[in-house]
């Protein structure tokens, strides 16, 4: 191997090393932004599902049997549940008075809570 | 081939190999970046479209004076969600529908001829299929990316029929 070749080889090895370093940083950023985008999409889906759940509860005045009948969601004792786009939505009856009722809507993704709020409805 | 020529040959091959590794790495990095960027744009656009469509329709429905003013009507092959409004100059309607790949809004006197293409473009959307059943408004939406989702609105005003 002549001196020129050795020099070129060292030069290129350094270039590959710098590129590997840059690639590692880029891939880390790609992975982070991808995760962030998935999270945004999940929140967006969760928002639509939670909104649908709350509107259905208000429509049926807290009658879970009626909501299950209209929407096809699964009723379990004092709660309703359904899954869509990898999100699990649970609606639980919190309290009921003569005129008003309250139910909590919770959206989970991989057992991690994304959105949770209470819905008041007229009885 | 003498010893010196063999050494030169191996040296050239080594340089070429490293150069090829460099070129392949650069190409792979660019391809990975492009694919990630493409997916991000797609996901972000879908999320934005979903939020915009659901909020836009919810705001329009909330703006109705009376719950009875909200209706679903078909114009030709196109189903639309309508909101009736009463002004001193007469009755007007706002209709929300999908036409030519866009969610559109059209405000016009109640008895006027509906020209669907003249509606104002709101956002890209492939289909909007509203259905009103006893005060429950369900709207099946197909985005321009072919993704489906359903919106539900309570328009019963607390009085189930």
Q: CA of A85, closest CA in chain B: separation in Å?
A: 10
| Residues B4-48: tens digit of each pLDDT | 788 778 878 887 888 888 888 889 889 988 998 999 999 999 999
Q: CA of B153, closest CA in chain A: separation in Å?
A: 5
- Please name the residues between 34 and 73 in chain B that touch chain A, using a CB distance below 8 Å: 36, 39-40, 43-44, 46-47, 50-51, 54, 58
d(CA A105, CA B69): 29
Q: Write out the two tokens for B105.
A: 């809004």
Of B7, B18, B54, the CB nearest to A12: B18
| Residues B54-107: tens digit of each pLDDT | 999 999 998 887 778 899 999 988 999 999 988 888 899 999 999 999 999 999
Q: Tell whether A52 lies on the interface with B, counting CB pairs under 8 A.
A: yes
Of A8, A51, A71, the CB nearest to B15: A8
d(CA A46, CA B146): 19
Contact between residue A109 and residue A82 where contact means Cβ atoms under 8 Å apart = no
| Residues B104-137: tens digit of each pLDDT | 999 999 888 888 998 999 999 999 999 998 888 9
Question: For residue A71, which residues of chain B lie inside 8 Å, CB to CB?
Answer: 152
Question: For residue B18, which residues of chain A lie inside 8 Å, CB to CB?
Answer: 9, 12-13, 16
How high is the ipTM of this complex? Answer: 0.78
Q: 3-state secondary structure string, chain B?
A: CCHHHHHHHHHHHHHHHHHHHHHHHHHHHHHHHHHHHHHHHHHHHHHHHHHHHHHHHHHHHHCCCCHHHEEEEEECCEEEEEEEEEECCEEEEEEEEEECCEEEEEEEECCCCCCHHHCEEEEECCEEEEEEECCEEEEEEECCCCCEEEEEEECCCCCCC
Backbone Cα Rg of chain A = 26
- Look up the pTM and report it: 0.81
């Amino acid at each position: 191997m002549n001196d020129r070749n050795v020099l070129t080889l060292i030069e290129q090895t350094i270039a590959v090393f710098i590129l590997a370093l840059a690639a590692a940083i880029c891939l880390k950023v790609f992975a982070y932004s991808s995760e962030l985008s998935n999270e945004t999409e999940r929140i967006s889906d969760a928002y639509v599902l939670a909104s649908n759940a709350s509107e259905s509860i208000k429509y049926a005045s807290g009658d879970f049997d009626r909501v299950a009948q209209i929407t096809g969601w699964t009723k379990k004792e004092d709660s309703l549940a359904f899954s869509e786009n990898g999100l699990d939505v649970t609606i639980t009856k919190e309290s009921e008075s003569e005129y008003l009722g309250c139910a909590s809507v919770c959206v989970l993704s991989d057992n991690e809570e994304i959105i949770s709020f209470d819905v008041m409805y007229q009885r | 081939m003498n010893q010196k020529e063999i050494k030169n040959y191996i040296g050239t091959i080594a340089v070429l190999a490293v150069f090829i590794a460099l070129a392949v790495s650069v190409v792979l990095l660019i391809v990975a970046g492009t694919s990630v960027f493409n997916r991000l744009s797609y996901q972000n656009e879908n999320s934005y479209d979903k939020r915009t469509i659901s909020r836009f329709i919810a705001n329009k429905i909330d703006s109705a004076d009376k719950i009875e003013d909200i209706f679903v009507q078909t114009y030709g092959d196109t189903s639309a969600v309508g909101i009736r409004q009463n002004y001193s100059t007469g009755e007007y309607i706002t209709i929300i529908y999908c036409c030519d790949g866009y969610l559109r809004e059209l405000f016009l006197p109640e008895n006027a001829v509906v020209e669907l293409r003249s509606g104002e473009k709101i956002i890209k959307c492939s289909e909007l299929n509203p259905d009103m059943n006893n005060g429950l408004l369900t709207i099946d939406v197909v985005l321009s990316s072919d993704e489906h989702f359903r919106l539900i609105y309570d328009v019963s005003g607390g009085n189930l029929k």
